[in-house]
A = this chain, B = another copy of it.
Amino acid sequence: MSGNTFGTLFRFTTFGESHGELIGCVIDGAPSKIPLSESDIQPALDRRRPGKSPLETQRAEADKVRIVSGVFDGLTTGTPIGLLIANEDHRSADYGDIRDKFRPAHADLPYQLAYGIRDYRGGGRASARETAMRVAAGAVAEKILKTMIGDSVSVSARLIRVGGETDPSRFAAVIEKARDEKNSVGGVIEIVAKNFPAGLGSPVYDKLDAELAKALMSVNAVKGVEIGDGFAAADLTGTENADEMVPDPAAPNGIGFLSNHAGGILGGLSTGQDIVVRIVVKPTPSVGMPLKTVDGKLNATDIVTKGRHDPCVALRAVPVAEAMVWCVLADAFLRRRAVCFNKDKD
């Protein structure tokens, strides 16, 4: 398989490059009779759009999504849902310099070695444009889950660290400084999913945390994923790390937890506690200062990215990370339903 498809039961395939006429996505597996319209998807895309904050790259994309199939009378039919977004901003010229050069920290070199051919315009499939479809798919996943479980479920992502800074009131300053210096900074995003049922996940190889790790690591520029205490658990003892349980009639399943070091997942299954995940987003590889590289003929050269670039791609990754978590949970939820046999209910 070629890796352009996400999921098993909530499954989607994206296509389109940033410099083609459109980008698209086909979602297969949405149950029937879920209410769905563009108004369920557009808000998430609008949150993602660059240019809504002065801190981000200025691109002129409206990112208006169209549902072209799979919905009838405002309800999903159970057939594939096609989503299309037209590409409006095609400033190829900004990338002309990289036709023959490999940009450091970009995918240019390995793509050329893998496929023998490389669409140099805008980074092709490795570009951030592809993430618009992830956000769209995430909005559909959210709609499915809210309809099938209830409105209390939520997934919320936020930056918790930027350029070494942890005080949110100082993030903007750090990013501005990087932009002025024609450089970029990295960041850490935390995503919390609340009120999801326990038991989601498919041991042994499709554990919920494993699927979350894969989905989030597949987002551009992500270089690490951790659950709950994550890497900090390396320095805890067993007693410090254990989440003890007590009876609690007010809690789901009647079981209350005294802590959440596990981040809501044990043995690869959700426990009913908040699912807490963190990811690191590396600093944007396109910078305004020369970096050493080689060209297609292996001659030494320099490369400078002119024009648009992001001083902090972590900022733009926030809605994308949120979307991926919605998608993983939708897939896990449908998979759990498929194999549950409750003799009293069926």
Contact = CB atoms under 8 A, between A and B. Distances in A.
A116 B268 CA distance: 16
Given A185-B237, A230-B223, A207 B199 contact: no
Interface residues of A, number: 159
Interface in A278-301: 280-287, 289, 291-294, 298-300
B346 A78 contact: no
Contacts of A108: 267
Contact of A343 (B24, B33, B245): B33
Copies of this polypeptide in the complex: 4
Contact of A204 (B8, B14, B147, B216): B14
A143 B81 CA distance: 28
Contacts of A11: 1-2, 5
Contacts of A20: 68-69
Given A210-B215, A213-B214, A335-B338, 18 more contacts: A5-B5, A16-B80, A31-B340, A76-B117, A77-B115, A77-B118, A107-B268, A113-B199, A147-B343, A161-B235, A178-B237, A185-B237, A206-B218, A233-B283, A234-B280, A239-B289, A240-B283, A246-B300
Contact of A78 (B117, B234, B283, B334): B117
Interface string A123-145: 01110001000000000000000
Contacts of A29: 1-2, 339
Interface string A51-92: 000000000000000001110110111111110000000000
Nearest to A76: B117
B13 A148 contact: no
A33 to B, nearest CB: 5
A241 interface: yes
A22 interface: yes
A15 B24 CA distance: 11
Contacts of A201: 3, 110, 114
Pick the most buried of A203, A237, A338: most chain B CB atoms within 10 A of its CB: A203
The 7 closest A-B pairs by CB, nearest first: A107-B267, A3-B202, A114-B199, A224-B226, A3-B206, A110-B269, A338-B338
Given A68-B16, A292-B244, A111 B269 contact: yes
A211 B6 CA distance: 12
Contacts of A341: 31-34, 116, 147-148
Contacts of A210: 213-215, 217-218
